[in-house]
Amino acid sequence: MAKDGEGATNPPQGKCCGVVQEAAAKGTERRNKRREKAQPWIVLKLTIGLTLGIIGYASYVYIGRFCVPMIKRSKSILGGRRFGIPFLVIFCILLAMMLWSYAMIVIVSPGKARDHVEPSPEPPPRQNPVPDWWDSSSDLGHGPGQFEYRGATEGAQSNGSTTLESHAPPSEKPGRQRDDNVGDASAIPAVQQARVRNEINANGHGETSGLPAGLTRRPPMNPALLPEWRYCYKDGFVKPPRAHHCRACGTCILKYDHHCPWIGQCVGARNHKFFVVFLEWAAVFCMWTFATLVAGAVQEGRDGDLDAQYIVIIALSGLFILFTLTLLATHVRLIILNTSTVESLNKQYMTEREKALLARQFSWHQFGAKRRVRKQWDRDWGNPYTEGNLWWLGSYRENWESVMGHSKWGWFLPIGRSPQDGVNWTPNPRFHSDGRPRPRSQWPAELR
């Protein structure tokens, strides 16, 4: 009897597990809903006030505590008025140019897809455009940038060669798969993986490239131009090419590059030019401020009368020199390659996988062999950043002018507008009409 009573007081174990699982599922659903909501306007624009506050404080210290005392000759910093007036004039010019370019990047919209396309139902799925030799496998769940190789043991069960995984079009809802993680500067659009048959070599259609069967390049076979691939399930329309859904802004952005909190919005097709111009002037402004204040601080330090606020601005300007120059170099490279931050990440995934494949096949000191393999891959498919880029226009200059404009004044001044409308794009003729890459042997004769 005691055993029966004792058993009756214990709750069923299955019921407890069910309650825990249900609570966890509801919590996950609530978090996902919060992530899909656009950030409030005040949150988006908050850092603009912070940025202006930093600029204002730097201007106060430089003008009020550095230049004015020199002009009044109350301090003998760097020679008094002879340096104070030129320093003040140059600083004010640089400050005005930086504020002008900052105002343009804050005011000019990157371009929103909803202003150019109408809501539409999900396009009907069509026959898989990937060639028969591209063997998709739905049981692979690796995230972006991950890869898997069949070693000697596992490979012996198939055909004995090393297999490099690559991207393939998702089987359902590609728009959702691609845009769930877009919304800030570090966001990476998720992509699915595919298993590739080993009997096909690097050129993709049975011709010999002179490399072992396992040493083959598998570029992403994403049909990026198909409507079903570009459909956004959050906004409910077919996005223009190169557009992505920004989680922070809550909408699809034309030629989405990244969401920049410093400007309170995204960098995209319409304002990428102004973003680069702002970085140019911000870098020059910070370098001038840093160099002159360091010289003044050294002089005052010798006299034992160093202003502590000089040190604060020197530290801030030094930090922002590194930040702006790094961003500027990155975006100049992206523009001359006619790619975006999001698009370049996909190429980096492929490059990382290829590095891992070469490291598996060759010893660390076989640099020449690795270089020959890479050259052969480029001969078969083209360099992934130039000829193998869907949006490559033919030269660095053409790519640059497609964003920054043809006027050289516009490369350095926040004037005019970008030639890009963000909706219509000219794809690389080396690719299929649906956006999939083709091996060099299938390129137009004049481009091979």
* Angstrom distance (rounded) from CA 441 to CA 63: 64
184-188, 206-210, 279-283, range with the lowest pLDDT: 184-188
Catalytic entry in 249, 252, 260, 266: 260
What pLDDT shows up at residue 198? 39
Give the number of other CB atoms < 10 A from CB of residue 105.
24
Strands 244-246, 237-238: pairing kind: unpaired
Q: What is the pLDDT of residues 301-312, one digit of tens each?
A: 777 778 899 999
Give the per-residue pLDDT at 130: 54
> Residue 268 is which amino acid?
G
Q: Is 252 a catalytic residue?
A: no
Q: What share of the chain has pLDDT > 90, as a percent?
A: 58
Q: Is the pLDDT of residue 238 over 60?
A: yes
- Domain boundary assignment for the chain: 113-268+340-391+427-447
Residue 164: band (very low, low, confident or very high) from pLDDT cuts 50, 70, 90: very low
Least confident range from 35-39, 249-253, 330-334: namely: 35-39
pLDDT in tens, 338-383: 999 999 998 888 899 999 999 999 999 999 999 999 999 999 999 9
**β-pair type (193-194, 166-167):** antiparallel
pLDDT recorded at residue 26? 60
Enter the tokens of residue 377: 């891959």
Torsion region of 145: left, alpha or beta (phi above 0 gives left; psi -120 to 50 gives alpha): left
CA distances from 114 to 117, 238, 244, 251, 400 (A): 5, 10, 12, 8, 27
Q: How many helices, marked H, and strands, marked E, lie in the chain?
A: 13, 8
Of 351, 352, 334, nearest to 343 by C-alpha is 334
Helix residue spans in 215-366 (DSSP H): 227-230, 272-303, 308-336, 341-361
Tell me which of 440 and 305 has the higher pLDDT: 440
Tell me: pLDDT of 10 over 90.
no
User: Is residue 293 predicted with pLDDT exceeding 50?
Assistant: yes
Does the pLDDT value for residue 220 go beyond 70? Answer: yes
Q: List the one residue out of 242, 246, 222 whose CA is nearest residue 234.
A: 246
Q: Tally the C-alpha atoms within 13 A of residue 327's C-alpha that lie toward its C-beta.
A: 22
User: For 113-153, what is each residue's pLDDT tens digit?
Assistant: 999 999 999 988 776 555 544 443 333 333 333 333 333 33
pTM, whole model, 2 decimals? 0.77
